[in-house]
Amino acid sequence: MLALILLAAAQPDCETTVNQGEMNECALIAYRAADAALNRQWAITLAAVRRRDQSDTAPIGMGSGPAEPRLRDAQRAWIVYRDSHCDSRYPYGSTGQLDYMMNVSCLTQLTLARTEQLEQIAGN
């Protein structure tokens, strides 16, 4: 119980904070939530693509083959793109607190957009 109280006390009020360190923490909290949503959607999308692959009745040699491997490749490439894009747009060092927040916010925005793309692929 004490651990829960300490954890709650450590969480900044993300609606009102003006402290850069707390704003950084709020940005990280938002990114973690977006990443968790992406991971949940990934599982849904992967299952939908697998079902479509299994029900594909195109003759061998017709079409472009199973979609799952291409989806996995695309997701891996997207992760590299997301991280590289945000790091190049908002590089930060040991003193770049604002740049850190902007970098994490960039990660969050791209992650939310990718989650929507995965929803569309799944047909949600």
Task: Please report, rounded to a whole number, the percentage of residues in the chain having pLDDT higher than 70.
Answer: 84
Phi, psi of 18 (to 5 degrees): -125, 0
Tens-place pLDDT, residues 16-29: 878 888 999 999 99
Q: How far is CA 72 from CA 37, 102, 121, in A?
A: 17, 28, 13
Q: What is the predicted pLDDT for the residue at 89? A: 93
pLDDT interval class at 7 (50, 70, 90): low
For the chain, domains (ranges, CATH) are 20-55+66-122 (1.20.1270.180)
Q: Taking the mean position of all CA atoms in its chain, how far away is CA 34?
A: 5
pTM strictly above 0.95: no
Answer yes or no: is pLDDT of 60 > 70: no
Report the alpha-carbon distance of residue 100 to residue 123 in Å, rounded. 35
Q: What is the predicted pLDDT for the residue at 59? A: 55
Tens-place pLDDT, residues 91-122: 887 667 788 999 999 999 999 999 999 999 99
Name every residue whose Cβ is closer than 8 Å to that of residue 66 and which is 6 or more positions away in sequence.
53, 56
Collapsing DSSP to helix, strand or coil, 27 comes out as helix
